[in-house]
Structure 1
C-alpha cells in the first residue's frame, strides 16, 4: 500500500472549510455507548435534549473494543468478540445490523475512528504473536478492503484513535503493554502505571511524529476525542482518574486537566474509571463513560461545570458497566445503504 495518498491532501485543501465546520455546525443529538456485563452486553443511546436510556442493540456479544458514530454515513460501528464478525455496522435505531469486518481468531479490535469524507473506518487491532504486535488498519464501507496503516513496535498498543481528515492527520496514544496483559481492551483497567506517548501521522500512516514522549511522565491514557476546529484533543485517563486535554496548536502541546479541577479534586461527579469519550462543541462539553460509577458524565471544556447525563441501571440481574462512547451529530441523510453482508 502506498504511504502517500495525494487525493486526501487535495480534497482536504479544497473542502477544508466545509469539513471543519460541518460537524461543529450540526448539533449533537445523541450519545451512544456500549455496556458490558457478566450476563448481557448492549448498545444503548441517550438523547441529549431529554436524557433517557434507549436500547439500540440488545445483545452485542462480549466486547471491550471500539465504538464510532458516522453521522454522514448513517451508521453506528461497534466491536464484538464474536467468532463470526469482529466489527458490526448498525442503523441509528438498531433496526438493521450487518457484519463489516470478519472475525479473526485471537485478533480483538480496539479503538475506532471514522473518516466521514471518504467513508472509512480506522481501527486498532491486537495480534496474538510472540511479539504482541498491534496495528492500525483501515476499511472502506463500500469496497470492504482492509489496509494496514500503522505497524506498532512489539508490545506497544494503540490506546485511543482520532482523525483530522481536513488536515490529513491521525492521532493516537502508544502504550507499552506488559507481556502478561490480555490482548483486548481489558488492558484499560490495568494500565494505571503504564507509560504512554502521544503520536501523530498522516492518514496513510506516514510522517509519524511523537508529540508527547514517554519521558513527559504521561500514564494511563484510555480513549481520545478531537475537536478539529479548536485543535483540542481530549482523553480519559487513569493514574489518577481524570479527563485531560492538550492544545495541538500550541508549541510543546501543553497538557491541561479538565475534570476534576486540580484545585477541587473532590468535585462531583467524581471520575472513578473513565473509558469512552466524545466531544460536543455545540454545548461546549466533553462526555465520558465511567465504568465503575455506572453513568455517562459530562464536563464543560473549561472545567467550569460538570454533571451526570444519565445513569446506567442494572439489567436482568447484572450491572453492565458503560465502556465505549460516541456522539451523533444531527442526521445528514439520506444515507447510503449498508452494503456489507450480514452474518
Structure 2
C-alpha cells in the first residue's frame, strides 16, 4: 500500500471542498449585499453556518497537512485517526442541523402539518445524536483497531442524514406541487422553486449516500471488490480516507443548499416600495423565500409565517385579471410571511 492510498482521498476531498467553499463565499457575498434588510436573526443564522463551515475547511487543511507533511513516513502515526477527524464530524453535524432546521421550520410554517414536521425533527435529532456519538467514539478510541466501535453510529448518522434530506425535500415538493395548479399566474416562479428544492435535497443526500457506501465497503470484502486486505489495518486505512474525503464536502453542500433557497429571490436593493402597488385581492400561500418584501424588515422563518396551505385564496375575477399585467417573474416574496400579495 502506497502513501497515496492513504492521503490521496483526503487530499482530493480537500480540493473538492475548496471549490465548493469558493462557490459558497460567492453566494454569501451575494446574499449579504443584496438582502441587507433581512431579519437580523436570519443573517445571524447564515453567519453562524458560514463561520462553522470555514472552521471545518481549515480543519480539513490541517488534517491533510498532518498526514502528508508533518508525519509522513511515521508508521505509528498512521495507525490512528488524528483529532481532526472528530472535529470534522462535529462541525459537519452543526451545519447540517442548522440548514435542516431552517428548512423544516420553513415547511411547518407553510403547511402546518404537525405529524410530518415531528417526523422530520426526529430524523434531525437522530442524525445529530448518531453523529456526536460517532465523533466521540473516534476521539476516545482513535486507533483503527477500534473502528468497529464506530460502525453503528456512523452508519446511523449517514443514513439518517440522507433520509432527512430526501424527506424534507419531498415534503416541500409535495406542497409546492399541490398549489402550483391553483397559481397559474405564478407557475413559472413555482417551477423554479420546485427545481431548486429537488436539486439541493438530492445533492446533500447523494453525498451522504456516497460516504455511507464508502464506509460500508470496509465491511464487504466480496462486494465491489474494494476492501483489499480486509483483516489488516492497512486495508482499513486505505479505504477509510475515501469515506472521510467524500463526507468533507457535506458541510459546504449544506450551506450551498441554504444559499440556493435564499438567493432565488429578487434582490431587495433592486426594488423600491414606491414603485409597485400590490392589490390585496390575491393571497398566495407559498413558502418560497426568506427576505423582506419591498424593503420591509423580514421576520425570520423561525419566528413565524402568516400563511399556511389551508389558507383561503381569493382569485381575481376575469375583469380584474385583464387589468393586471405584472409578470410572475417580477413578484417579490416575503421570506417569512408566506403570503404573496398581488
TM over 0.5: no
Q: Which has the higher helix share?
A: 2
Higher strand share: 1
The answer to which structure, 1 or 2, has the higher relative contact order (CA under 8 A, 6+ apart) is 2
The normalised TM-score by structure 1 is 0.25
Higher-Rg structure is 2
